[in-house]
Amino acid sequence: MMKGGSYMASMRKVERHQARTAYLFITPTVLLFAVFTVIPVVMALYLSFTNYDVLSRNDWIGLDNYRRLIDDDLLWKTFRNVFLYSVIFVPLNILISLLLGLLLSRAWRGVKLFRTFYYLPTLTSAVAAATVWIWLLHPEFGLVNGLLSYVGITGPAWLSETRTAMLSIVMLTLWQSVGSNMIIYLAGLQGVPDYLYESARLDGAGKLDCFRFITWPQLRPTTFLVSTMAIIGALQLFDQAFVLTQGGPANVTKTPVYLIYQQGFNQLQMGYASAQAFVLAMAILVFSLINMRISKAEEPVV
Amino acid sequence: MKKWLITALSLVMLSALAAGCGGNSDNSGTPAAKNSGTDAGSKTEKTELTFWGDWGGEGQKQFETMVDAFNKSQDKIHVKYVLQQDMITKFLTAATNGGAPDVLFWDRWRTSLYAPKNVLHPVDEYLTRDGISKDDFYSESLTELSYNDKLYGLPLTVDARALFYNKKLLAEAGLQPPTTWDELETAAAKMTKWKGNKLEVAGFSMADLGLFNMYLQQAGGTMLTEDGKTNFNNDKGKQVLEFWDRLMNKDKVYKVGFELGLGEGQDAFVTGKVAMLYSGPWMLSTYNKYGKDLDYGVVPPPAGPNGDKGSVMGGFGLVIPEGSKHHDEAWEFIKWWTANKDNALLWAKTSLNLPGFKPSMEDPFFQNDPLWKPFLETLEFAKVRPSHPGYSVMETDALAPNLQLNQQNKLSIEDTLKKSQEQGDKMLKDNEVVK
């Protein structure tokens, strides 16, 4: 009895000690998380109910900011813009990065070179890349329209026309983001066990069947990760749109983040900008949840 | 959203850091001050002033030239220029948390947004005390620095747009520089060159639809009414859009997106791909670099159908933040720089800007230069943007998008003006001064 009791006591002591050490280890991260994430989010939520302007006012005005949101045509237009962008960007992003991943997962000569090439655009800064794309897309002297003119097509003024401006931004962001998603898919493909393919082949499954019944379902968690990140990134689109088109022409490429920045820092209406930011956060949450449902992320992979 | 918040928070921390650094530099400045004090035999400490601006590179050197000259001109005040890349955001946090600079380089149109929030120090009393005449400045530039009949600083530079033209191309067309809309249209049409579907030379740049304000003045209109509503959904606004429609669709002098991305070195005017454009004095030094390769002239903006002239005046000023502890000394620095004939002229010659102080412009440096002269003429009738805190939002988010749709023939002239008015009035109201 005595022995058992002291054993229990020393176990508890060890556990307490371990717990203390564990808390000590996570303290820096938790502190950083609290200071840079939790506190600002709570602050912003509070500010969204005030008329805060940084300089002179900080009064509680209840739901006035949120009421004003309803009539804010420009805000809803920016949301429509990023939704349109997401609808084109997210599926294309998944498709292209998956295809690249499949192509480059085999070990053939020079594959590492190609992996590097496809990954390179991810490493360039968004602003620098956008500047180069402005030249490529110039209506008269740009490379894109130059190539088009060889096959007899007069290319549009990509960035200045309302019907092609958003498409140009999709092209640039795809070019920049498929590289990193390709890497994620490559990692996912490595994780698909070989015995599944082997037994499928023994059962007489073709290549397409293998992809449809093994690769794609096995990659479900990877696809969920890639699509969620793409959706969040798409809804927060800012720098590429800002450098390429400054939100123009006719506001077709203006995004919520751009508008929030402008409202807060240029017009000093931080309270209202915070309210706009919360609507954006909610939108991101809702679309991530929908995405979770569609990709059945919670069901186990068999 | 999180990113935005993190940025905001880290800005607060950064500015705290910056304030700390400022304190340090104050200390390091003191020994020098003491040295000069012992020379005079008395222990007078120099007042240290911090001057914030967002001009780096060449601009920073130009500022420092002036600051050094001021520091040498007297022995009571020592000014230090601090480059702030993101000056306005830094000022936002500094204005409330202490650490505000003593003198601020100020884009004048911001006055209507910031002055009502009591972060700028009025200078009217100093003006009266030191007998500085307001007539020595363009009244429009003072208007832009005023709010509720109080003046918040003095103009450092003035600018306005005028018409730049390529002399060679105009001579080939056998024409004189245009003085009216009709002549502008004729010249633009004649200098434009198409090769099939490809535009090779645009007769006249139509890239900047933000110039609507200028054209509206030339048509005899104004952007806003006295009570702060839009004032362009009328005949005057229609005349502007009809003129643009003729240039774009009938004469085809320009193609949408033609100049986008053609920065310095490939600038469309430098390379002769654009024959005429509206631009300001800030481009003179760039264009002059090309010397003989670019033979160009400048004339005041052509007058509208009824002979009305118009251009938009802009420019910078110097203001004193309310949070500064040395209002009087800051004023001495501003007065020395902006309200003294020799110093304002030194500044003008150093930076190649038109100074805000009129007597300095009587110098032959400006009067005898065929490129400066047209700007002086333009400034005589140029008007500043309306001082409504929501004006720039209205212009960029309500007016410009509709003008772009109109330029691409996706919205009729009537609908463009109507929609701009509806959306513009709403934005003006949403962003007006809250009392």
Lowest mean pLDDT among A26-30, B22-26, B206-210, B270-274: B22-26
Pairwise CA distance, residues B435 & B425, whole Å:
19
Lowest mean pLDDT among A188-202, B33-47, B127-141: B33-47
Decide which of B331 and A244 is more confident: B331
What 3-state DSSP class applies to A111? helix
Mutate which of A59, A160, A232 to disrupt the B interface (most B C-beta within 10 Å)? A160
Tell me whether residues A37 and B197 touch, CB distance under 8 A: no
Identify all chain B residues contacting A70, using CB atoms and an 8 Å cutoff: none
Q: What are phi and psi of A109, to 5 degrees?
A: -60, 135
Contacts of residue A249, Cβ cutoff 8 Å, sequence gap at least 6: A160, A161, A162, A165, B256, B401, B404, B405, B408
Pairwise CA distance, residues A257 & B329, whole Å:
41
Residue B36 confidence (pLDDT) above 60: no
Element (H, E) at B290: none
For A145, A146, B189, B250, the CA distances from B268, given in Å and listed in that order, are 18, 18, 17, 22
Tell me whether residues B4 and A139 touch, CB distance under 8 A: no
CA distance A22 to chain B (A): 27
Residue B270: beta bridge partners?
A: none
Pairwise CA distance, residues B127 & B105, whole Å:
19
Tell me whether residues A248 and B400 touch, CB distance under 8 A: yes
Percent of chain A residues past pLDDT 90, beyond the cut: 50
Tell me whether residues A139 and B255 touch, CB distance under 8 A: yes
Per-residue pLDDT band for B6 (boundaries 50, 70, 90) equals low
Percent of chain B residues past pLDDT 70, beyond the cut: 88
* C-alpha angle B254-B386-B160 in degrees, rounded to nearest 5: 50
Residue B13 confidence (pLDDT) above 80: no
- What is the pLDDT averaged over residues A288-293? 89
User: How large is the C-alpha radius of gyration of chain B?
Assistant: 24
Residue A6 confidence (pLDDT) above 90: no
Q: What are phi and psi of B83, to 5 degrees?
A: -80, 125
Per-residue pLDDT band for B18 (boundaries 50, 70, 90) equals very low
User: Contact A158/A144 with Cβ under 8 angstroms?
Assistant: yes
The chain A residue lying nearest B98, using CA atoms, is A55
Q: What is the pLDDT of residue B32?
A: 40
- What is the pLDDT averaged over residues A4-23? 85
Q: What string of DSSP letters covers A121-132?
A: HHHS-HHHHHHH
Residue range A205-253, pLDDT digits in tens: 888 888 988 899 899 889 999 999 999 999 999 988 888 888 878 899 9
State the pairing for strand pair B103-107/B316-319.
Answer: antiparallel
For chain A, what is the mean pLDDT? 89
Per-residue pLDDT band for B191 (boundaries 50, 70, 90) equals very high
Residue with tokens 């005349």: B239
Q: Does B392 touch chain A (CB under 8 A)?
A: yes
Residue range B332-356, pLDDT digits in tens: 999 999 999 999 999 999 999 999 9
Q: What is the pLDDT of residue B3?
A: 53
The chain B residue lying nearest A269, using CA atoms, is B431
Decide which of A151 and B22 is more confident: A151
CA B409, B202, A140, A253 torsion: positive or negative? Answer: negative
Tokens describing residue B218: 């030339």
Tell me whether residues A139 and B114 touch, CB distance under 8 A: no
Residue B362: closest CA among B344, B378, B383? B344
- What is the pLDDT averaged over residues B215-239? 94
Write down the ipTM of this complex: 0.78
Q: What is the pLDDT of residue A58?
A: 86
Type of residue numbered B119: V
